[in-house]
Amino acid sequence: MEIVALYILILLLFAILGHKKPDIAMLTAPVVCLLLVYAAVWLDLFEAIACAPILFIVTLIAVLTSRREPDSEQWPHKLAKYILISCGFLLLVASSLILLGFGGYYGFILFAFFIAAIARFGFISRDATALYVISTIGSSMRQNLPLPMALESAAGEPRDKRSRILSSIKKWLVQGYSLSESIKRGYPKCPGYAVAMIAAAERIDQLPLAMASIEADMLAKADERRKLRPVHPLYPLILVTFMFLIMCALAWKVIPTFSSVLIEMAEGAALPSATQLLIRVTNYGWLIGLFFALIVIVIVPVSMLIKLRPRRPQKQYLFSRIGDFIKWHLPVLHWFERSYSMVQTVELLRLSLNAGCTVNDAIANTLDLDVNNSFRKRLQRWLAKVEAGDNIAAAAKESGLGSTLAWAFDDKVNQGNTLSILETLESFYRSNYSYYVNLVRFIMWPCVTIVMGVMVGFVVFAIFSPGVAVIHNLAELVYP
């Protein structure tokens, strides 16, 4: 009892120390944990060794929840966060191995669905936080309220994540930073396209209109994610994996038995053609399994990292440049990337010209938008041609920006109507993009369903064909 009381006292001491003095707690906790392990071994209380990691985890949680400035983290908080994330990752890996060992494929599928649910919750929570922050800033600006005071009033006590973000943005605004820079410092996880649009709108003094547009885009994306989907995007991958494992098991264990029966009964009769093709496919099972393992171990975590990490338009990450290059050169994705980039470009061009900027400055503002990197290069070529004295419409067409944008700046056809045409083009590109996104989705899923049905039907036919062949040969023996 004395040892238990002493341990509880040490646990409470480090919980308080981690909350009040996180740096001292992070330095002394490993030493105390080692002393606890040494004392447990010396006293032959091996069951007490588990008290050391419990003490360390409690200290990390206390350090992570300690009070700090909302805009920055000291090294104890960062170290505690990284250690807890690493422990959580190791726990997930251990859980997956345990489920795989006890539940086999079904345990692994259950674990995969659990991870997918956590990731989806993280994405939805991140988008909801970004929408709340942008909506709060936009509504404050539309009401002509002093932005720092409005954010302080909206934040209240910094108890939750959203309040801390608003308080952090307010702090940088009070120190004299611009809104875009304050968002970058106070809310680093803000979506890159929102920060880029805000930074570009600040230079032309069109922040309220830009905030309204960003808020509308975020609301549209949030409404799209809340719609019910008849089929989860991971379902085809899970079905194909499950079918491949069953196919390999049958090809290695069951189908050879049918082959030997046919050889004995029908004097060397071969397996049906579909079954032979299935066996040839399973001969490359290690290569297909390696492909699925690559998807689960590498592609899925990298894609989650890319989605969780906001883009940097001015200084792009390597994965962002690679992704932009791939999407720009694929047949269908190229159209969507170009249309989405054109929506943002036309919108900012309209705002810039409406604010009295020259065409050169308006084009230069679009270079800071979060658009596809290949599309940004076309904007750079357009700006270089315009600054060299070329015709604006001809330069836009020669730079690969399309005839519609060139038509908006053609003085011979629509002199003085550039702003109204840009507004029309913005509405056209936005509605066209949304329409084709839904159209492709509605076309893609029936096609995927048909392909999956054909694959499953072929596998079922190939598996049951040897049994039918054996029954047919038995029938010929009875009724010649």
What pLDDT is attached to residue 157?
63
Judged by average pLDDT, the poorest of 49-53, 90-94, 437-441, 474-478 is 474-478
The pLDDT value recorded for residue 345 is 87
Q: For 456-469, what is each residue's pLDDT tens digit?
A: 788 788 777 777 77
CA angle at residue 229 from 228 to 234, to 5 degrees?
A: 140
Helices (H), 254-317: 255-265, 273-282, 285-294, 300-308
In the prediction, which pLDDT does 70 show? 47
Structure tokens at 418: 């550039």
Packed helices 318-329 and 373-387: angle between N→C axes, nearest 10 degrees: 80
Q: Please compute the mean of the pLDDT values over residues 292-317 and round it to a whole number.
A: 69
Number of residues written out for the chain: 480
C-alpha 474, offset from chain centre: 57
- As a whole number, mean pLDDT of residues 211-225 equals 74
CA distance 339 to 2: 71
Give the range among 45-49, 105-109, 156-160, 441-445 with minimum mean pLDDT: 105-109
C-beta of residue 250 within 8 angstroms of C-beta of residue 281: no
Question: Which long-range contacts link 185-188 to residues 24+ away (Cβ below 8 Å)?
Answer: 185/71, 186/70, 186/71, 187/133, 188/310
pLDDT at 471: 72
Does position 158 have pLDDT exceeding 70, yes or no?
A: no
Place of tokens 């191995």: 97
354 within 8 A of 419, measured Cβ to Cβ = yes
Is the separation of the CB atoms in 221 and 127 below 8 Å? yes
Q: How far, in Å, CA of 374 to CA of 156, rounded? A: 43
Distance of alpha carbon 448 from the chain centroid: 22
Instruction: Give the integer Cα–Cα distance in Å for 198 and 251.
Output: 59
The predicted-structure confidence for 306-330, as pLDDT tens digits, reads as follows 666 667 777 777 777 888 888 888 8
Q: Express as a percent the part of the chain with pLDDT over 90.
A: 0
Distance, in Å, from the CA atom of 361 to the CA atom of 374, rounded to the nearest integer, reads 20
pTM for this model (two decimals) = 0.63
- Neighbouring residues of 336: CB distance < 8 A, sequence distance ≥ 6: 327, 433, 436, 437
Q: Is the pLDDT of residue 229 over 60?
A: no
DSSP state of 370: -
Q: What is the DSSP letter of 296?
A: I
Question: What separation in angstroms does the CA of 94 have from each of 52, 85, 101, 163?
Answer: 20, 14, 10, 35
Contact between 399 and 389 under an 8 Å Cβ cutoff? The reply is no
Rg value, the chain, Cα: 31
The answer to whether the CB of 437 falls within 8 A of the CB of 332 is no
Average pLDDT value for residue range 343-372: 83
- How do residues 90-145 score in pLDDT, each as one tens digit? 776 666 666 555 555 555 556 666 666 666 666 677 777 888 888 888 888 888 87
Share of the chain above pLDDT 70, in %: 73
Q: How many CB atoms lie within 10 A of CB 243?
A: 15
pLDDT (tens digit per residue) in 237-252: 666 777 776 777 776 7
Which sign does the torsion angle of CA 177, 182, 186, 188 carry? negative
Q: What is the pLDDT of residues 398-434, one digit of tens each?
A: 888 888 888 888 877 777 778 888 888 888 888 888 8
Residue with tokens 């010929």: 476
Residue that wins the pLDDT comparison between 288 and 393:
393
- Do residues 28 and 13 touch, judged by C-beta distance below 8 A? no
User: How high is the pLDDT of residue 47?
Assistant: 65
In the block, tokens 């922050």 appear at 133
Give the count of beta carbons closer than 10 Å to the beta carbon of residue 332: 11
For residue 439, the model assigns a pLDDT of 81
- The confidence score (pLDDT) of residue 237 equals 67
Q: How far apart are CA 169 and CA 175, in angstroms?
A: 10
Q: Tell me the pLDDT tens digit for each residue of 127-138.
A: 778 888 888 888
pLDDT at 392: 86
